[in-house]
Amino acid sequence: MEIKIFAETERLILRELLPEDAEGMFEMDGDPEVHLFLGNKPVLSIEQSKADIEFIRKQYLDNGIGRWAVIEKENNHFIGWAGLKLMTETCNNHSNYYDLGYRFSKRFWGEGYATEAAIATRDYGFKELNLDEIIGIADINNLGSIHVLEKTGLKKVSIFDYHGVNHHWMRVEKPV
């Protein structure tokens, strides 16, 4: 089976999520610190990680896009995910928008991988999908994520209540 690679950077490969990524997903999503700004609901079993991968793989078929596995080129480690997700449900009075997201195992934090993957994702959205805008959402207390989105070119537009927590609504428009 040929693995679909969506983007590459100097240090990273962004490819489709595969069932064999479940162990890396479970390491990441089972960590309470990773979920600090994500509703504090870490994954409790590898079965949940496998189900999450299948759910994302279904998005590839249904929406033509979904989050991607982020692989460290140097040693082929799964370090997290990044990518675009078509958001069809209404959030902050918007629907059918593309959300730029990323999540990494804690041991890979602070290496600049999130920014590198987010920039590659943004570029894919504008060049390959011909999007007019990309949205990012971050808990107002998640300063690291806000910093990554700003370095990727997203600007704060508003603050809104997302499940009882204030979040920044951020966006970047396609360059002309």
Q: Which domain holds residue 138?
A: 5-173
Q: What's the CATH number where 46 sits? A: 3.40.630.30
pLDDT digits (tens, 9 = 90+) for 17-59: 999 999 999 999 999 999 888 887 899 999 999 999 999 999 9
Tally of domains within the chain: 1
The pLDDT of residue 27 is 96
The pLDDT of residue 130 is 96
Close Cβ partners of 34 (under 8 Å, ≥ 6 residues apart) = 28, 42, 103, 104, 105, 106
pTM: 0.95
pLDDT digits (tens, 9 = 90+) for 9-19: 999 999 999 99
